[in-house]
Amino acid sequence: MKLSDFTTLTFDCYGTLIDWESGLLAELRPWLTKGPADPTDDELLAAFGAEESRCQTATPNKLYPEILADVFLALARQWTWPASQDDARAFGASVGRWPAFADSAASLQYLKRHYKLVILSNVDHASFARSNEKLQVDFDRVFTAQDVGSYKPDPRNFDYLLRELSALGIGKAQILHTAQSLFHDIVPAKALGLRTVWVNRRKGREGGGATPAASVRPDAEVASLADLVALHRAETG
């Protein structure tokens, strides 16, 4: 696979461009001091990932801040910390506080010179807008779960992406889907015939973090967005 074969990079955002695991831990860790449980970071992230997936499947029409609020209350019950509806809503509004990966902004600015850049995210438009301030690039299109009414890995999200891009004259063969989550992104993208790059931000660490496990072979793997830029530079000279 050659990177120059593509005209359009479609991106997952959270876990790929925004460091959602660090953001989640910063928001959740203080609550553990209010209860008796002391899970490790990986245990807390795994519990979040499992509950988030359950909530997104059960209530796909809820906006992402509402999903986060439901997950927060479920984790509070699991780890026995006191939590109110106001606390849950505050956690639901935390997306804009999650940091970008250090290489995201500069890498996106480079890639923007060579590709159309498109977001396919499991959040809502308002949450993404706050994150995009950290990414410092104008995406050509932004598609969210709010647009589709379902959450990845539901294939409807990728069907929506392909329809919208086809209307712009961008065919499937021109698209390279770029994402951290095998579960949310690489599996459904591959099932629909898209080429994929796995941005393995957890390379060298055990477990899947906040992402449920999945088995699939991406077309390429990099450890960071900066590595993808380096591959493009090496290929194009």
Dump pLDDT digits (tens) for 189-235: 999 999 999 999 999 888 889 999 999 999 999 999 999 999 999 99
pLDDT of residue 164: 98
**HSE of 64, CA atoms in CB hemisphere, 13 A:** 20
Which two three-digit tokens encode residue 142?
């932004």
- Calculate mean pLDDT across residues 27-47: 90
Q: Identify the pLDDT of residue 46.
A: 96
Q: Looking at residue 33, what is its pLDDT? A: 85
Q: Please give the Cα distance from 46 to 49 (Å, whole number).
A: 5
H-assigned helices in 113-186: 125-135, 145-148, 155-167
Please provide residue 171's backbone torsions phi and psi, each rounded to the nearest 5 degrees: -90, 165
User: What integer pLDDT is reported at residue 204 of this predicted model?
Assistant: 84
Burial tier of 88 (Cβ tally within 10 Å: 0-12, 13-18, 19+): buried
Query: For the segment 61-95, what is each residue's pLDDT rounded down to a tens digit?
Result: 999 999 999 999 999 999 998 999 999 999 999 99
pLDDT exceeds 90 at position 32: no
Q: Out of 12, 19, 70, 154, pick the active-site residue.
A: 12
Share of the chain above pLDDT 70, in %: 100
- For residue 132, give both structure tokens: 């995009």
Q: 49: pLDDT confidence band, cut at 50, 70 and 90?
A: very high
Segment 133-142, tens digit of pLDDT = 999 999 999 9
Dmax (CA) for the chain in angstroms is 57
In the chain the domains, ranked by start, together with CATH numbers, are: 3-19+100-236 (3.40.50.1000), 20-97 (1.10.150.750)
pLDDT for 217 equals 96
Please check the confidence at residue 34 and state whether its pLDDT lies above 90.
no
Q: How far apart are CA 190 and CA 218, in angstroms?
A: 8
User: Nearest to residue 1, comparing CAs of 186, 235, 201?
Assistant: 235
Using CB atoms within 10 A of its CB, is residue 138 exposed (0-12), middle (13-18) or buried (19+)?
exposed
Rg (CA), the chain: 18
17 vs 2, 13, 224, CA distance in Å? 22, 5, 9
Please state the pTM of the whole predicted model: 0.96
Active site residue 12: yes
Say if residue 6's pLDDT is above 90.
yes
Q: Which residue has 């106001």 as its token pair?
A: 86
147 Cβ neighbours under 8 A, 6+ residues apart:
125, 160
Which among 144, 122, 153 is positioned nearest to 215, based on CA atoms? Answer: 153
> Going by C-beta distance under 8 Å and a sequence separation of 6 or more, which residues neighbour residue 223?
199, 200, 201, 203
